[in-house]
Amino acid sequence: MIRKVALGLVVVTAGALIAPASTWALDASLIRVPTDAPTLEVAIERSKPGDLILLERGTYPGAIVVPETRPGITIRGVDRNEVVFDGANVRADAIEILADDVTLENLSAHDFTNNGFYWESVEGFAGRYLSVWNVGLYGIYAIQSRDGVLEDSLVSGAADAAFYIGECNPCDTVVRRVIARYSAIGYSGTNAGGNLEIRDSVWELNGSGIMPNSYEKQEAPPPQHDSLIAGNSIRGSGTVEVPANSPLAGYVGIGIAVNGGQDNRIEANSIEGSARYGIALFPAFQPSGAMWLANGNKVRDNAVSGSGTADLAAAGGMQVPSCFAGNTFGTSKPADIERAIPCQGTGAGPDSDPDVEADLAIPIPDAIARLGPRPAYTEMPVPDREATMPGDVTSLPGGTTDFVFAIWEPAVLLAAVAVAIVGLGLIIFILRRRAA
């Protein structure tokens, strides 16, 4: 009897220590819509952390909100091209997420008056194998959120930015292997930075390709700073007319536009055929009358060609010089820009070109005014079908066994092992006493 009690003590105590960390995984469920729940809203209401909500093929109306009380869930479609949220140009958003650690996968959305898929004020987010087209504001974005990844997704025809990471520092986020087309801005990053990477993606036929920017009266204050923009292919910025429902849409025709952003690294990008500038650094004028300079940016090892005005450009002067080095380019303003503003040694100057100043160092209303009429987001072409998510779409995120061990806290695991060792020693001691 004593032996059974001791052994039970070990099992119960260790189990109690481990249970809080592993319950999430062990209790995770697959909720099919409409088989197990009639609608996505009902499935979200029934869900708990770790659950996978799997949407069958069909058209869904959108206007979905994941509340703060439903963290840690995954919403996934069985087929990226066949699970479609249709806003019918009357609904605002496809899915709005207010809960931490929510993942969206293998879904499409179109014709929403505001946004496709977005996360607001969350810790942890992921979007994969998503397609969004023809929306009135943003395609896929996260605001005041951190610790995220957006990957293997496409946005076309967004009247503001196709992809947006904004108002976070540190953001601890990566945007990679995405495609943006026919949008006012391919990527916009207002007041965002700190372990933030925009990389290895395609940005083509947008008003401007990639635009880190500083702007007042946002949830996080300016300036934007500390982002890595690397390995991207940017083509044809400003060469087709696109929707322009963005305060920054007036800065059109630029492959990478650093609008008052600071301390960014712009490396190993390929930029072709921009209507005005391949890469341009210029100040951000604010509604208050203030101005943020494009200080301390490093532009290295990019291949820039075929720009209408200049491949590389800088305007507005800098308190902390930005620099250019190792780039392949044809034209620049100021001339011989890598000698004027080098990344090593003392530059020959100047660090600003008067023509670029007149063109880009202007207030936002003035930039917008020169755009003229623009097409509506509803007039943009519908993209082709994209690759759907590989693998078994019914598998729980991470796989049950791996997920259980991944979420064990090290301290809890060590405590459980210690309890087991002490309990085993107690059993051996009791057995020896009984044998004696």
Q: Is residue 382 part of a domain?
A: no
Task: Reply yes or no on whether the pLDDT at 426 is more than 70.
Answer: no
Q: What pLDDT shows up at residue 409? A: 41
Residue 362's domain comprises: 196-369
Domains contained in the chain, number: 1
Task: Cis check for the bond before 363: say yes or no (omega within 30 of 0).
Answer: no
Closest by CA position to 331, among listed 282, 274, 283 = 274
- Segment 412-418 shows an average pLDDT of 47
> For residue range 209-268, what is the model confidence (pLDDT) as tens digits?
999 999 987 778 899 999 999 999 999 999 999 999 999 999 999 999 999 999 999 999
Q: Is residue 212 part of a domain?
A: yes
Other Cβ atoms within 10 Å of 61 Cβ, number: 14
The residue that leads in pLDDT, 19 or 423, is 423
Q: Is residue 86 part of a domain?
A: no
Measure the CA–CA gap between 419 and 416, rounded to whole angstroms. Answer: 5
Helices assigned H by DSSP within 47-185: none
Task: Reply yes or no on whether the pLDDT at 21 is more than 50.
Answer: no
Contacts of 54 (CB under 8 A, 6+ apart): 30, 31, 32, 33, 76, 77, 78, 393, 394
Long-range contacts of 39-42 (CB under 8 A, 24+ apart): 40/64, 40/75
Contact 408, 18 (CB under 8 A): yes
Task: Reply yes or no on whether the pLDDT at 429 is more than 80.
Answer: no
Task: Reply yes or no on whether the pLDDT at 398 is more than 70.
Answer: no
Contacts of 305 (CB under 8 A, 6+ apart): 271, 272, 273, 278, 311, 328, 329, 330
Q: What pLDDT shows up at residue 316? A: 86
Structure tokens, 400: 């049950």
> For residue range 174-199, what is the model confidence (pLDDT) as tens digits?
999 999 999 999 999 999 999 999 99
Picking from 169-173, 210-214, 281-285, 369-373, which range would have the lowest pLDDT averaged per residue?
Answer: 369-373
Q: Is residue 166 part of a domain?
A: no
Q: Is residue 50 part of a domain?
A: no
Contacts of 16 (CB under 8 A, 6+ apart): none
Structure tokens, 348: 């020959």
Q: Is residue 201 part of a domain?
A: yes
Q: What is the DSSP string of 153-220?
A: -EEEEESSEEEEEESBSS--EEEES-EEESSSEEEEEETB-SSEEEES-EEESSSEEEEEE--SSSSS
Q: Is residue 171 part of a domain?
A: no
Q: Is residue 305 part of a domain?
A: yes
